[in-house]
């Protein structure tokens, strides 16, 4: 039995899934979770819809509270961190984190960034120690798999693609996922939404197939043995140290 | 006489500028604007503090309103776009846009992303035309200069730096600035904040000097003749088309 955290970030409701007004990232997320449930019917799902209910923004007081030691926090400070505590608890217990999000203006929706800003927190999801030299941050969680399902209006955001350098969604989420204890990362996306053409329809079909295949692959056994590993903590540290 | 729009995104107030509790990006912004005012005392400043008062998040209704033609919008839809109209008017009249922001989790604060999501809007800041083929978006504004002032806890985010691939702040803002009509882009940042060491203090000094020099350079004459040009619209289009 595994725990699956589903974070959905689209401002759009589902509606017509393949029409202009529906959320395609929610469509992929639904596809993933219904297939997953079919193959792993004892698993537990946690839903966190940050598109419909965005977390609060950072504030001066929030930052001060997060940097105050747990014993020294006032009642007001504990209350300020309450949502963050809850969101982190959801991440901490998840074996698999599914993030479904549209690309807005070449990056994540502000609501998803607000979620990351609440869950990446010192002494909760990462530790900070200057004795580690120039790399003082280390994740406190480990062993998680993250599946990122995206939709974008344009195309060519993949490595080597026409718009690779404009892509601040997937690469950003991948960078941040390290601090949530993610050791396996998968990304599937629908492209060409603004074009509404055959390429878009083909992209939907391909993404749906890729989701089905990924669910089967991840369901075969322990998540970490059967997935494409994009980075391990060791590789990430090597990358940080400038090694290939 | 020029108009200068100052967008500040730190969740922190100013306070002790060089201590842990003060906002370093606000410190740089203050330095810039006081020097600018000294040399260009007839210029008009517009302040927009998204750190203290974050714009609303995207919503399904907001998106529907933005994609409804101006004539067909209901009163409710016009009200939904009211803040966006105001923020866009501030951008449209600015000759110089100053964005001062901390790096939060390797990208912009959610509040700054919320601002971009409000100001990058079809038929207001960009036009969309499928007759343009694979590059249907074009900015409607032009001739603006953007100065990005940042602060980050770590270091090595510059091109070729140790953490270049983790940097989703400057490169993201630069990508988006094209859609605000920005043709000149400058970036100055303070690094090493989490280390609080000599490198950090040196970084503050260097950034302060760089700000002073940039203000002098930009004040000497028409902004677009005296600044380092990181990209022109032509170069941006060439980059989009995959050319070097």
- Segments making up each domain of chain A, as ranges: 3-240
Distance CA A3, CA A92 (A): 10
Nearest to A96 by CA among A206, A231, A218, A179: A218
B58: chain A residues, CB-CB within 8 Å: 11, 104, 109-111
Question: Which of B101, B133, B168, B174 to probe by mutation at the A interface, max A CB count within 10 Å?
Answer: B168
Which structure tokens are listed for B64?
Answer: 């529907």
Q: Find the CB nearest A110 among B105, B114, B155.
A: B114
Look up the CATH number of domain A3-240: 3.40.50.360
**pLDDT one-digit tens code per residue, A62-95:** 999 999 999 999 999 999 999 999 999 999 999 9
Distance CA B203, CA B104 (A): 18
A155: chain B residues, CB-CB within 8 Å: 134
**pLDDT one-digit tens code per residue, A213-239:** 999 999 986 555 444 444 333 443 444
Mean pLDDT for A36-49 is 95
A104: chain B residues, CB-CB within 8 Å: 58, 113, 117
**pLDDT one-digit tens code per residue, A145-168:** 999 999 999 999 999 999 999 999
**pLDDT one-digit tens code per residue, B2-36:** 999 999 999 987 765 444 568 999 999 999 999 99
Mean pLDDT for B82-102 is 98
CB A3 within 8 A of CB A94: yes
Nearest chain B alpha carbon to A241: B162
Nearest to A53 by CA among A8, A108, A116: A8
A105–B120 C-beta distance less than 8 A = yes
Question: Which of A8, A168, A170 to probe by mutation at the B interface, max B CB count within 10 Å?
Answer: A168
CB A24 within 8 A of CB B67: no
Nearest to A108 by CA among A192, A23, A168, A51: A168
User: Strands B96-102, B144-151: parallel, antiparallel or unpaired by DSSP?
Assistant: parallel
Q: Find the CB nearest B242 among A13, A128, A162.
A: A162
Distance from CA of A183 to the nearest CA of B (A): 17
């Amino acid at each position: 039995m595994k725990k699956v955290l589903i974070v959905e970030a689209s401002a759009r409701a589902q509606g017509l899934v393949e029409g202009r007004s529906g959320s395609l990232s929610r469509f992929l997320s639904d596809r993933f979770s219904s297939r997953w449930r079919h193959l792993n019917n004892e698993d537990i799902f946690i839903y966190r819809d940050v598109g419909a209910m965005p977390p609060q923004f950072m504030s001066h007081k929030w930052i001060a509270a997060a940097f105050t030691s747990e014993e020294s926090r006032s009642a007001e400070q504990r209350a300020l961190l309450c949502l963050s505590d809850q969101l982190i608890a959801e991440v901490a217990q998840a074996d698999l984190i599914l993030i479904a999000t549209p690309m807005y203006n070449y990056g994540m929706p502000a609501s998803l960034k607000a979620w990351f800003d609440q869950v990446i927190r010192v002494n909760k999801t990462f530790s900070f120690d200057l004795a580690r030299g120039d790399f003082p941050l280390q994740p406190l969680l480990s062993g998680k798999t993250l599946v990122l399902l995206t939709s974008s209006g344009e195309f060519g955001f993949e490595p080597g693609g026409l718009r690779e350098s404009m892509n601040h969604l997937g690469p950003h989420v991948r960078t941040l996922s390290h601090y949530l204890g993610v050791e396996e990362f998968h990304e599937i996306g629908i492209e060409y939404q603004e074009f509404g053409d055959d390429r878009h329809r083909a992209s939907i079909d391909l993404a749906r197939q890729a989701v089905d295949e990924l669910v089967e692959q991840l369901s075969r056994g322990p998540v970490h043995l059967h997935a494409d590993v994009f980075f391990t903590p060791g590789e990430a540290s090597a990358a940080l140290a400038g090694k290939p």
